[in-house]
Amino acid sequence: MNPFVMVKADYRAMHGSAWAIVFLVACAVAIGVALSAQEKAVRQSATYAAADFDLVVGAAGSATQLVMTTIYLQPDALPLLPGQTLKSLQTDPRIKAFAPMAFGDVVAGYPLIGTTKEFVTRWGRFSAAAEGRFFAAENEAVIGSGVKLQVGQDITPAHAVAGEQSRLGEISPQEQAHRHAHVHLTIVGRLPQTGTPWDNAILIPIESVWETHGLGNGHQTDGIIGPPFDADDIPPIPAFVVKPASISHAYQLRGDYRKNNFMALFPAEILVTLYQAMGDVRDVLLVATVLNGVLILAAIILLVLAIFSLRRKRYVVLRALGAPALYIGLVAWLGAFGLIAAGCVVGLFLGWGLTALVSMWLSAQTGLALVLIFDWLQIGPALFMLLSGSLFALVPAWLSYRLPLHEGLRQL
């Protein structure tokens, strides 16, 4: 039994209407795949970006804002913690490592962050810089892998204007106007890629930030960077990233630093609530997608019925020539299956291509490296469409059995 001869003949007879099915299916599948793949990619890379931030401590305020600013570097003015906090963290035995974070300045649109070498090396995960070296003195800076500046270049930071969203790599008029003209930093190294917004950041010793704003350097003596910080009067700090010694310590610390104008949180908690909010949006999208899918499926079924009804005379002729029902069924089903399958394949690639494009754009905007995940679950709806849609092609074939062949040959 070789139904493909007739399938080929049917495709030739269908001309453009065959492409209509392919096109419709491809669009439906592409939209569905793109939506679910994009959502997964964003979720996964957002979680990944929070990996080095075990516990974040800041002044009481918006938890979301604290997470968005420290982990995703969204420019925002955080309330400050007293410098004394640094000292108590420094001596807390429940803490394995910690790093202060100071935000607020920019260079060529890239956020400038004051911190310590512990965090620059991502708690020792980076044994060396990708290019050059880590900073070792107050006026040295290291840049993220995505920063389009050169190692060896001199830079002058500017005060970021609140609410002003600067474009990475571009010096805005505001930046020009708010330069700390007396400060000169030298880029001494470039960090390995992290796939997070921090790839678009410039990191300097926190002492350098304090000095820029005339607040001293946090040490008794000049020229030292990094812990211990032993000055009597340590400048205020917007946030700390803390690596607790153990899980139980982590919970204790979170409890302790939730009192008295402090706020401590596991970014994962915030992300969960964010994902829940995202999930609500996703649910709405999902309902929309399902409705869209149902409509498209209905359109495809109607199209299949219409196109394959035109084949009814064909089925009658095949029967008159003695073709078994199985043969006629296969011709009809395979014909529809082939068209819808072609649409699904085109749609999957279109969808993934679309996701890749949107991801590229999102990555450029946020610095989040979006990893595309090819999930077999994404193929599920396509398969459903393939099976259900192609089965409807059997209806016209089946109808050809309802009419005596003599009538069919006369009438159709």
Ligand X SMILES: Nc1ncnc2c1ncn2[C@@H]1O[C@H](COP(=O)(O)OP(=O)(O)OP(=O)(O)O)[C@@H](O)[C@H]1O
Binding residues for ligand X, rule CB under 6 A, total 2
Which residue from 19, 40, 18, 38 is spatially nearest to 30, judged by alpha carbons? Answer: 38
- Compose the 389-408 pattern: x for residues touching ligand X by CB under 6 A, - for all others: ------------------x-
| Using rule CB under 8 A, residue 9 touches other proteins | yes
| Using rule CB under 8 A, residue 12 touches other proteins | yes
Region near other proteins per CB under 8 A, out of 7-15, 18-26, 144-152, 173-181: 7-15
**DSSP notation for 361-385:** HHHHHH---PPP---GGGHHHHHHH
**DSSP notation for 176-222:** HHTB-TT--EEEEEEPPP-SSGGGG-EEEEHHHHHHHTT---SSSST
Whether the CB-CB separation of 261 and 82 falls below 8 Å is answered with no
Q: What, of other proteins, ligand X, none, does residue 152 touch, CB below 5 to 8 Å by kind?
A: none
| Using rule CB under 8 A, residue 5 touches other proteins | yes
Which residue from 187, 185, 186, 160 is spatially nearest to 175, judged by alpha carbons? Answer: 160
Q: Give 305 or 409: the residue with its C-beta nearer to other proteins.
A: 409
Residue 54 DSSP SS3: coil
CA 166/CA 108 separation, integer angstroms: 9
> Binder to other proteins among 134, 327, 349, 352 (CB under 8 A)?
327
| Using rule CB under 6 A, residue 410 touches ligand X | yes
Q: Could you tell me the smallest distance in angstroms from the CB atom of residue 410 to ligand X?
A: 5
Q: What, of ligand X, other proteins, none, does residue 39 touch, CB below 5 to 8 Å by kind?
A: none
Q: What, of other proteins, ligand X, none, does residue 405 touch, CB below 5 to 8 Å by kind?
A: other proteins
Q: What, of other proteins, ligand X, none, does residue 327 touch, CB below 5 to 8 Å by kind?
A: other proteins
Q: Give 231 or 412: the residue with its C-beta nearer to ligand X.
A: 412
- Compose the 353-392 pattern: x for residues touching ligand X by CB under 6 A, - for all others: ----------------------------------------
Q: What, of ligand X, other proteins, none, does residue 356 touch, CB below 5 to 8 Å by kind?
A: none
Cα–Cα distances (Å) from 97 to 232, 242, 308, 320, in that order, read 22, 6, 70, 84
Q: What are phi and psi of 100, to 5 degrees?
A: -80, 155
Residue 242 DSSP SS3: strand
CA 115/CA 162 separation, integer angstroms: 21
Q: Could you tell me the smallest distance in angstroms from the CB atom of residue 407 to ligand X?
A: 5
Residue nearest to ligand X (CB): 407
Q: How many CA atoms lie within 13 A of 328 on its CB side?
A: 24
Which residue from 18, 33, 20 is spatially nearest to 293, judged by alpha carbons? Answer: 33
Q: Give 13 or 383: the residue with its C-beta nearer to other proteins.
A: 13
Q: Could you tell me the smallest distance in angstroms from the CB atom of residue 290 to ligand X?
A: 47
Contacts of 145 (CB under 8 A, 6+ apart): 130, 190, 191, 192, 193, 194, 199
Q: Which two tokens stand for residue 170?
A: 């571009």
| Residues between 305 and 324 that touch other proteins (CB under 8 A) | 314, 317, 319-324
Q: Which two tokens stand for residue 237?
A: 């700090």
| Residues between 391 and 410 that touch other proteins (CB under 8 A) | 401, 404-407, 409
Which residues contact ligand X by CB under 6 A?
407, 410
Which residues contact other proteins by CB under 8 A?
1-3, 5-6, 8-10, 12-13, 314, 317, 319-325, 327, 401, 404-407, 409
